[in-house]
Amino acid sequence: KDLFDSVLETEKIEPKMLAYDRPSFKYLAFLKKYYGLHDYYPQSNSFVVFKEYFEALAEQAEAERQKKEA
């Protein structure tokens, strides 16, 4: 966990904003346990994208829209 946290900090990104290439069941359990990521959309190319990724994008888009209206 410390290594993964270090990478996230260095890259200035949250785990929900990443796509994971063919994650194992153990890695999915790790992401669920430590980061609360469990609802995902498997892609046809074996990547996994978590639901929170799309929610964060929608929130960012809404914030941008409100900023432009102000």
pLDDT over 70 for what percent of the chain?
Answer: 100
Per the DSSP assignment, residues forming a β-bridge with 50 are 40
User: Above 80 in pLDDT, residue 2?
Assistant: yes
* Tokens of residue 58, six digits: 């929608």
Residue 69's pLDDT band (boundaries 50, 70, 90)?
confident
- pLDDT tens, 28-58? 999 999 999 999 987 889 999 999 999 998 9
pLDDT over 90 for what percent of the chain?
Answer: 71
Its pTM stands at 0.79
Q: For residue 57, give the DSSP letter.
A: H
